[in-house]
Structure 1
Amino acid sequence: MQAWRVHDNGEPSEVMRLEETERPAPGDGQVLLKVRAANINFPDALLCRGQYQVRPPLPFTPGVELCGETEDGRRVIATSALPHGALAEYALADATALLPAPDALDDAEAAALHIGYQTGWFGLHRRARLQAGETLLVHAAAGGVGSAAVQLGKAAGARVIGVVGGPEKAAVARKLGCDVVVDRHAEDVITAVKDATGGRGADVIYDPVGGQAYAQSAKTVAFEGRIVVVGFAGGTVPTPALNHALIKNYSILGLHWGLYRTTNPELIRHCHEQLTDLAARGAIAPLVSERVPLDGAAAAVQRVADGTTTGRIVVLPALRNGDAA
């Protein structure tokens, strides 16, 4: 089979190699999946760089999320069992973690439903307890993680403010349903958010960026608001001033979605049922901006790493060159 493999850590475009290799052999409790679609996530870039919290042995195949087919023909979604990731024709996954792919979504959409939407659901509902009528601010609203949070926020009845970088991403955020869009390249985010909320600020802030975005969050969060820390795609881990949280009376909530898989896996299945229902009703639909063949995966991971993409890029191993859409 063909698989992308990383033999040395570095930038994805430099260290990912498309190679012929044997199909991986499932270990105890694992299953072999034929990859129908592999969604590219920012952690795939961190894995290549050796900067992710999980460091698989070299060489490894990146690709943490997929829609696949079991040997008995079931269509499922899963996180891959590294080092045998999803950017290949076949991958491994834990048998107990397989979830049925929603009928309402095609393979590419189903591959993009799992990590980003589960993270959004846990962040907004389990951690922040978002209520209908509240104001939700989403940083990087046109990206893969942010777009999921926007859709989930709208489905929950929230008023959504999307912060993006540039006019193209602003157009995507509006199409996703953001009630207010702030282009951080053209506007002062703090002033724009205060203007949009009558000076009150946002009740819930969803931050997968960190750095300057977090500093803006602390200045735009409402009284008794909640800042959900999802990740640090901006490259800088902020150091919150806890005296400011005390004085302004807001909460800082961390979210490590992967921890639920070991501490409370039933919640993962409950969340998937909720997401499947929302997809069936048309309330959510993963924003797949590109579908690329397997040999385009390294370039796609690099673009995700560089932050130049909108929505999700999904790799389809069965797609041939020239057919990408």
Structure 2
Amino acid sequence: MIETEAWVLYERSGGSESALDSDDFRRETFAFPGPAGDELLVEPLFGSWEGNMTHSLQRRPIDICKQRGERRVVIGNGSVLRVLRAGADVRGIHEGDVGILHGGHVQDEFGYTVLVQGYDAPGTVGVLAKRTKIAARNFLPLPLESHHRLEQWAAFSVRYLTAWSNYHLALGAYRLQVNEPLDPAPFVLGWGGGSTLAALDLARRAGCRAAMVSGSPQRLAELARMGIVGIDRRAFAGLEFDEGRYASDPEYHAAYRAAERAFLAAVHDWTGGRGAAIVFDYIGAPVFRASVKALGRQGVLATAGWLLGMQTTVNRAIECIGRHVHVHSHYIRRADSPKAMRYAEREGWMPQVSEIYSWEEIGGLARAAAAGRLRSYFPVYRVNPV
């Protein structure tokens, strides 16, 4: 058995409330079986706080301890790792090698992720640990003498790889109906967090006209520096759709309609009345209705996750008449990751990391994430010395 220090999430015996109790998540010793012949013993250097980690703490949409049948779980899958020991069957990976984790622990026959290490894959140990083990096939070596910092690669490992896959799928779907000569610079709109920003940056670099919705002055300023149009959400702060209230509360109904009209007017002004060719909606139910309405004809609604709601309602007739395509993806396919990494290294398509939490501060980071108080698109924490 391997013993290590880790931040450990415990099974909750009480109700399903989302508040994070201090007894639920704490730093302590954790033990796991040593690596098999096709596995690596690794030490995380930097980790990135991901949405699935917040979902784990909130027990939404699932309680991963119950789903996995485990009383104690170590979460986390966005990271830069250093190899401590390679199993007997591993070839081409050696002690001291540094890379990022591809979190798809269980993959389907085509290489797409089904279950994620450090989340819903039973028996896996996440990267909120001083040491862990991973399948050797999921170790993605970093470029030698990379131009980018290790903490940037940690933030890249989930959000940017997810965005790469979702962006290319969404653009490909749009180009099936509207080729480049017909629309050489599509309007691409998004709202959400780091994955949305990464997808919009890809779109901008490809010659698309990109815009992102945000209510934060700091983030709007960051978008301007990146060459992405910022649409100020404060102008339509009531744009939070609740189907039940919309049907039963006349005051809410009127306020929501006013906010939706303001949002669609902003999109109309930006696109010259065409509507968006692609909308990246990583928020979910509260903005899904508005996202669909913001699409132009032949438009594509794309997502690889949700922040605030999973269940959505769609008018199929309207979507058919508008020839809208809905693209739902997950994480990137393992075989596609090296291409995304090479592009990032060459073109500088990387997250800007402004704040790094210490190992001891992870408890506070977790509480802020569970309460929805994170300010950064890319919250990164340090695990082991470089």
TM-score, shorter chain, exceeding 0.5 = yes
Greater displacement, 211-220 / 200-209 = 211-220
1:58 maps to 2:71: yes
Greater displacement, 97-106 / 204-213 = 97-106
Once the two structures are superposed, the pairs formed by residues 160-199 of structure 1 within 5 Å of their partners are: 160-178=210-228, 180-187=229-236, 188-199=262-273
Greater displacement, 113-122 / 198-207 = 113-122
Q: What SS is found at the alignment partner of 2:376?
A: coil
Taking a change above 3 Å as real, the CA distance of residues 40 and 13 of structure 1, as seen in their structure-2 partners, is farther
**Aligned residue in 2 for 1:323:** none
**Using the alignment, how far apart are the partners of 1:29 and 1:165 within structure 2?**
47
In 2, are the aligned partners of 1:112 and 1:314 still within 8 Å (CA)? Answer: yes
Of residues 298, 301, 309, the one that matches 2:366 is 301
**Using the alignment, how far apart are the partners of 2:196 and 2:366 within structure 1?**
17
Following superposition, the deviation at residue 275 of structure 1 comes to: 3.2
Greater displacement, 108-117 / 13-22 = 13-22
In 2, are the aligned partners of 1:136 and 1:202 still within 8 Å (CA)? Answer: yes
Q: What SS is found at the alignment partner of 1:21?
A: strand
In 2, are the aligned partners of 1:139 and 1:213 still within 8 Å (CA)? Answer: no
1:202 maps to 2:276: yes
TM-score (norm 2): 0.73
**Aligned residue in 2 for 1:48:** 57
**Aligned residue in 2 for 1:93:** 134
Q: What SS is found at the alignment partner of 2:355?
A: strand
**Aligned residue in 1 for 2:254:** none
**Using the alignment, how far apart are the partners of 1:167 and 1:4 within structure 2?**
33
In 1, are the aligned partners of 2:45 and 2:383 still within 8 Å (CA)? Answer: yes
**Using the alignment, how far apart are the partners of 1:311 and 1:153 within structure 2?**
18
Once the two structures are superposed, the pairs formed by residues 220-259 of structure 1 within 5 Å of their partners are: 220-257=294-331
In 1, are the aligned partners of 2:170 and 2:278 still within 8 Å (CA)? Answer: no
Aligned-partner residue type, residue 288 of structure 1 = V
Q: What SS is found at the alignment partner of 2:185?
A: coil
In 2, are the aligned partners of 1:165 and 1:184 still within 8 Å (CA)? Answer: yes
Unaligned residue ranges in structure 2 (runs of 5+)? 13-17, 85-94, 104-116, 119-123, 175-179, 237-261
**Using the alignment, how far apart are the partners of 2:285 and 2:321 within structure 1?**
21
Following superposition, the deviation at residue 279 of structure 1 comes to: 2.7
Once the two structures are superposed, the pairs formed by residues 126-145 of structure 1 within 5 Å of their partners are: 126-129=169-172, 133-140=185-192, 143-145=193-195
Larger Cα-atom Rg: 2
Q: How many residues align?
A: 308
**Using the alignment, how far apart are the partners of 2:227 and 2:341 within structure 1?**
18
In 2, are the aligned partners of 1:5 and 1:61 still within 8 Å (CA)? Answer: yes
**Using the alignment, how far apart are the partners of 1:297 and 1:52 within structure 2?**
22
User: Cα RMSD between the aligned structures?
Assistant: 2.3
